[in-house]
A and B are shown apart, each in its own frame.
Chain A
Amino acid sequence: MPSTVAEAAGDRREVPEAQPAGRFAHGRGVGDRQQWRRILVGLGSFIVTIMLWYLATGGLHLIEPLKLPSPGAVAERLGRLASHPYVRHTLWGHASASVEVVIFGWLAGGVIGAPAGIMMAWSRRFRAFAYPVFHILRPISPIAWIPLAVTWMGIGVSARVFIVFIAAVVPWVMNSMEAVRSVDPLLVRAARNLGTSSAGTLWRVVLPSSLPTLMGGARVALGNAWTSVIAAELLAATSGLGFVALTAANALDSRTTFAAMAAIGAIGFLLSAIMRGLAKLLAPWAKGL
């Protein structure tokens, strides 16, 4: 029974990343021409999508603006929100409110989760003690904590940071464990044999070689954090992009809702790109990040 439950808790909050097209079909050496073709096709499909969106809404009025405003209207509203406040803040204010909560919760998750995961992989005693607790708390989705967090902490920043922390800490722990565990045991034994202490081995052998996986965990954690902050803002906030989207929807202001969603998508993309860049910078020896 416990082994099945252990499987049940496989790291399921990660959504598999889409593969860059063509890698599977053609192997690793995708030629330059193919790359260009892909970019062109992708760009073309973006243009076609926007055109279809425009035709359905502004051009032919197939969909009423309340359900889906035209791309132009959304872009115009984005521009307006950037300079005119909506519920006390401009777009920048709301965006920075969301990002702030994400950074705090994500950092807290890393500060607690990464060492915990590393220790769980490194020390059998610590793992035997800590893993079961982690294991029974983990199936409780971060979303389910929201009402509790609101009752305990109100709808301030701390409740949202708590939710983001819960969402971020799981990938931090799982990937840190995995990272340490995937280190070649030969390296560890060699280091120990040559007289390095346990702590020294951890610091100078295990950490550098597990950094790529750790960074992968950090990226997944940040994605989870961004996802969960939106959920938390729908319920427990008076600022933030999720709050803007829902408030506007309740006021039947579809333009602002979609403008907020565009901002949410753009920031999600940026955060992911930053983490990729960071991974390349910190662990340039890693492949496939």
Chain B
Amino acid sequence: MTSHTLETRREPRWYRPGVKSGYDAAMGTSSIVALFAIWFIAAVFTNRQHPGLVPTPIDVAHTIVNLTAHPFGGHTLPMHALSSLGRWGLGFAVAVVLGVPLGILFGAVPLVREAVSPIFEFLRYIPPFAWIPPAVLWLGSGQTSQALIVFIAAFPAIVISTQVGAAGVDPALLRASRTLGAGALRRLTQVVTPVALPGVFAGVRVAASNGWMALIAAELIGGRVGVGFLIQQGSDNGAIDVVMAGMVAIAVTAAILDLVVIALSKRLTRWRKSAA
């Protein structure tokens, strides 16, 4: 099933929108224009009865610009975003540093995998968000507990994809390199790593986005800074335009993180013809 899921996650070439023909481009543009038009009209209509409940796209754009200069919830929008990114980076980095070696260990030593994976599997059925309450118990609702949530959300995807990648190495290759005199370290860096890397990156990509999502949830629940905190503050103060501006920032940051992971993966697997 894993290999299958990993396969289907890649976006097939046939439905990348809007690049191949003028027809697709025209349809795509008109659909997005229609989306914004419907939003705008809906906002104008609801504003007659409930002012502020649905801000127009223009209001939201205006708020985004405003928030870059004027703080809301103690900080400007870029500062909130940077603060969130810092905690995301911490949790994510720990997940990679611990997850990749563990995944390689699982992939290389069947006994370890057989012993640990049932526990691991069971824990995976507990969604990362469910760890927020115990994280609050352990560390309060501060920055460390939020980084812990990022770690918990990112870790399994990294371990599993590394394991699958490492176990997918052809044993003949390993034996061959061993016969030719390569030591364990050399086999790891020059045989296992290149084969496993694309799979690892598929997991890293999932992990990056899972971690970001979990961080937002943790920030909604507690904290004093961050984009999740910003939209919660907006919601508490009835400032829907701030909520929507924050949502845009969350989505844009998620997209940027994803692009960075893809760029990194392409760069590190350049030798591959169809890099993920």
Contacts and interface: CB of A to CB of B under 8 A. Distances in A.
Interface of A: 2-19, 21-22, 24-25, 37-38, 41-46, 49, 66-67, 120-121, 125, 127-133, 135-136, 139-148, 150-152, 174-175, 177-178, 181, 213, 216, 220, 226-228, 230-231, 234-235, 242, 245-246, 248-250, 252, 254, 257-258, 260-261, 264-266, 268-269, 272, 288-289
Contacts of A2: 16-19
14 contacts: A3-B19, A7-B16, A9-B255, A10-B10, A14-B5, A14-B9, A19-B1, A129-B28, A178-B12, A231-B129, A245-B130, A246-B221, A268-B126, A289-B1
Nearest to B3: A19
A6 B129 contact: no
A257 B133 contact: yes
Contacts, number: 279
Contact of A19 (B2, B132, B220): B2
Contact of A128 (B5, B12, B23, B244): B23
Contacts of A14: 5, 9, 206
Interface in B210-252: 210, 212-214, 216-217, 220-221, 228, 231-232, 234-235, 238, 240, 243-244, 246-247, 250-252
Given A19-B2, A265-B122, A143 B8 contact: no
Q: Is the interface of A mostly helix, strand, loop or mixed?
A: helix
A22 B117 CA distance: 11
Given A24-B167, A141-B213, A177-B15, A151 B128 contact: no
A264 B251 contact: no
Interface stretch (B29-37, B61-69, B90-98): B29-37
Interface string B99-121: 00000000100110111111111
Given A133-B31, A289-B1, A10 B133 contact: no
A147 B258 contact: no
- Contact residues on B (Cβ < 8 Å of other chain), bracket: 35 or more
Interface of B: 1-6, 8-12, 14-19, 23-24, 27-32, 34-35, 53, 107, 110-111, 113-134, 136-138, 156-157, 160-161, 163-164, 167-168, 171, 202-203, 205-206, 209-210, 212-214, 216-217, 220-221, 228, 231-232, 234-235, 238, 240, 243-244, 246-247, 250-252, 254-255, 258-259, 262
Contacts of A175: 8
